[in-house]
Structure 1
Amino acid sequence: MSQHLARPADRYSPLYFLAALGAGGLAVTFFMFLLFWVPHPGRPVPIFEDIMAAFATGGPALQTAIVVAMAGIAAMAFLHFKSLFWNLSQYRAFKRTPAYQDLANSNGETQLLAMPLALAMAVNAGFILGLVFVPGLWGIVEYLFPFAMVAFLAIGILALRMIGDFLGRVLTKGGVFDVTAHNSFAQLLPAFSLTMVAVGFAAPAAMSTTPLIAGISLIGSTFFGFAGILYAVVAAVTAFNSMLHYGTARESGPTLMIVVPLLTVLGIMFLRQSHGLHVSFDAHTAAADNLVFLTRIVAVQVIFLLLGLLVLRRQGYFADFVFGSKTSPGSYALVCPGVAMSVMLQFWINKGLVANALVAKFSTGYWVLTAVAIAFQVAMIVLVLRLNRQHFGRPASGTAVPAE
């Protein structure tokens, strides 16, 4: 197929599922406004009724925040599902092409895990839409949890089957895995997929008042979470060894920061599990424990963010693939770290600093710190719109470059 196409996205890659993932993640960043600024007594999350009550009684600042949050959730969720459905259609057609067979017999087979990753995000996004826009949902939410867990289980099994196909091929046939092309963190995508399933699976543990539902949620999320952790450790260690030998693959440079979103979803999973243990099993975690836990996560995230930005800057990645004429579907991997930092900073500020009285809520210091989280959010919105225009618009020129 010719490299010069009407638009770069016409040369399909499963990595375009990351476009859907990024938009879904941005919907979550807007939900943070409601989670931490709208009172929701007696519930772990705000619902439609809480939001409407806060809008009716709150001041102009809170009302503005609510309008921005709801509009942002709606817009980003629409973009997420639009991209997801487009990807699913393209993916079905892609599976019938020789390009799919080539991909499935290379290191790049793990790119297929972007599909269950985006599907897991879709379930999470759907639940947020229900909480924010559907009146009376909380009255039937206990009946919805089993269906949500079945959905995450199905997505998790799909991810495990894909991982099994890949590992079964490379571990039973010598010489089929190209170690020289393992010089990035692209192989951590399966781990990210598993942990996204895990964080969704953990939601009923945090919200259900039925011990059986909470217990199943705890068990299921622990399995998928630690499966993801195990895979990430093995893939990261072997990839770093390859990068030290061969340098970092230029088109896959953004994957160096995949640790950032992976830690965010794991961090939220553990917080959800901790809340479920407190509510359903009378096991308590001190606020100081959450502060230390979240600070450790943010510290590791900042280190990997700096490492990734250092390599990308020295390789001139942004000049070519973000602001230049070259395109790579792997560029959408840049969105995930920024979204993840925005979300995790909100948790660190509110569940760590505020909960331990280190910063007063809604004080000047609080808004200075929160502005950092919002800056990441705004930057990622701009990046998503920029990448969508590059990949899905019809530029006069441009070459689609596949990520390795």
Structure 2
Amino acid sequence: MPDTLKRPADAYSPLYFLASLGAGGLSVSFFMYLMFWVPHPGRPVPVFEDISAAFATGRMPMQAAIIVAVLGIAAFAFLNVKSLIWNFSALSAFRKTEGYTALRNSNAETTLLAAPLATAMTVNAMFILGLVFVPGLWSVIEYLFPMALVAFLGLGVWAFRTIGDFLGRVLTTGGVFDVTAHNSFAQLLPAFAISMIAVGLAAPAAMSGNALTVGIALVLSTFFGFAAITYTVVAAITAFNSMLQHGTAKDSGPTLMVIVPIMTVLGIMFLRQGHGLHTGFDAHTTPGETMVFLARLLTVQILFLLLGMLVLRRQGYFTDYVLGTKTSPGSYALVCPGVALSVMLQFFINKGLVEAGVIDKFGVAFWVLTAIALAAQAAMIALVLRLNRQHFGKARQAAALPAE
């Protein structure tokens, strides 16, 4: 290890884009406060005017929640963008090294999909910033939707070209894919990237009042969403077979829970599509059906969380890579499942249980369940701060491990 390396992050890996992704996800998790607690009649999402009115007329708990939400959105959106810029700069330098050439000829080539994944999250985060902080944005929102579709479609082309480079190499030349190193869910990163693009493409379907815009958003988001589902199924089955034979790669253990954010992102995509079908094409879904749909997604998430935590505890991952002195850029993959669980719980509680009439909004059961979502969010904030200190703080002797 060269002495010139000052921090673990200086041994660059594209997986450091997950640091930006995690911060962006936390920004979205704070928006859930506003989404479900602030009244926004006539609009599918709260905007600056709704938030200002709720703050002016609400009681102290509402005002406190709005302050926390607004500060959280701003702080983690800033961290998201800052990390994204750093990553693109570091990736540019990394492309000139032998390490990049080696990466492009290994299983880890798919880690390059972390770049469009994080960029798509940033686009989503910027949209939330506009809703929360820009007065009058809703009056021109219809003009922004075509630009958003073009932006996400561009990200989709980028992601598919990167995936094509990888699959074109491994499927046309035998023996270049190391099956023994496929013993994790690291190869699901392309599916995660595609699903993040899909949920972005679905946003105009949920918010636009123009039938053409809604229709285009529905079709494009369906294409990318089902592409993500297909890739997830294939990659998960082959990876699980390798894990059964070779065990789970310790430094890639957190990827076992990547199913959790994929489920959340695709779940939101389907909810957005359902809203677009309802408002644009008079197709209806009952609150009870939505509740059961979200419960099914949550069930899958809990199962994979339990599996991931079981393996990570048996391997001593947290002792070594989170609380200990070892570092791996893959540790940032731990942030996504916690944030995704928090967001999914907010949707399940509010769009599922409350709208179906199972529990009362702001009742005792509501806050007991919401406390779980808030606890998951708080844990992920602590984890992000901890990982940032480990990887981007003062100089360390050990460098980050490359991801497979």
TM-score (norm 1): 0.99
Distance between the aligned counterparts of 1:323 and 1:276, measured in 2?
Answer: 45
Q: Counterpart of 2:388 in 1: which secondary structure? A: helix
The aligned counterpart of 1:173 is 173
For 2:311 and 2:350, the matched residues in 1 are separated by 32
Read off the aligned partner of 1:136 and give its amino acid letter.
Answer: G
Residue 357 of structure 1: how far off its partner (Å): 1.0
Q: Does 1:274 align with 2:274?
A: yes
CA distance 1:398–1:139, change in 2 (3 Å): same
Unaligned runs of 5+ in 2: none
Matched letter for residue 108 of structure 1: A
Cα distance between partner residues in 2 of 1:4 and 1:367: 51
- Say yes or no: does 1:258 pair with 2:255: no
Segments of 4+ in structure 1 off by > 4 A?
A: none
Q: How far did residue 395 of structure 1 move?
A: 3.9
Aligned amino acid, residue 31 of structure 1: F
2:345 match = 345
Q: Secondary structure at the match of 1:338?
A: helix
Aligned-pair CA distance for 1:381: 0.3
Inter-CA distance 3–22: structure 2 relative to 1 (3 Å threshold): farther
| Correspondence for 1:140 | 140
Deviations 1:112-146 (A, max 9, x none): 00000001001100000000000000000000000
What number of residue pairs does the alignment pair up? 404
RMSD (Å) for aligned C-alpha atoms: 0.9
1:231 corresponds to: 231
Q: Using the alignment, how far apart are the partners of 1:226 and 1:399 within structure 2?
A: 38
| Cα shift at 1:402 | 1.8
Amino acid in structure 2 at the alignment position of 1:354: V
> Residue 158 of structure 2 corresponds to which residue in structure 1?
158
8 Å Cα contact 2:194/2:225 also seen in 1: yes
Per the TM alignment, residue 3 of structure 1 is displaced from its structure 2 partner at its CA by 7.6
The CA distance in 2 between the partners of 1:266 and 1:322, in whole Å, is 29
Identity of aligned residues (%): 70
Distance 1:182 1:252 in 2: 10
Residue number in structure 2 paired with 1:66:
66
Q: Distance in 1 between matches of 2:144 and 2:385?
A: 33
Q: Is the 8 A contact 1:184 1:256 kept in 2?
A: yes
Structure-2 residue corresponding to 1:127: 127
Task: Give, in angstroms, the shift of residue 2 of structure 1.
Answer: 2.4
In 1, are the aligned partners of 2:11 and 2:399 still within 8 Å (CA)?
Answer: no
8 A Cα contact 2:8 2:396, kept in partner:
no
Contact 1:4 1:400 in 2 (8 A): no
Map of 2:388 onto structure 1 = 388
Q: CA deviation at 1:70?
A: 0.1
**Structure 2 matches for 1:241-320, cutoff 5 A?**
241-320=241-320
1:105 counterpart residue number:
105
Distance 1:297 1:173, change over 3 A: same
Query: Any conservation in 2 of the 1:4–1:399 contact (CA below 8 Å)?
Result: no
Q: Match for 1:149: what amino acid? A: L
Once the two structures are superposed, what CA deviation does each residue of 1:307-343 show, in whole Å capped at 9, x if it has no partner?
A: 0000000000000000000000000000000000000
Distance 1:396 1:213 in 2: 51
Conservation of the 8 A alpha-carbon contact between 1:274 and 1:285: yes
Partner of 2:90: 90
Amino acid at match of 1:43: R
> Is residue 54 of structure 2 the alignment partner of residue 51 of structure 1?
no
Is 2:182–2:239's contact at 8 Å kept on the other side of the alignment? yes
- Letter aligned with residue 116 of structure 1: P
**Cα distance in 1, alignment partners of residues 297 and 335 from structure 2:** 19
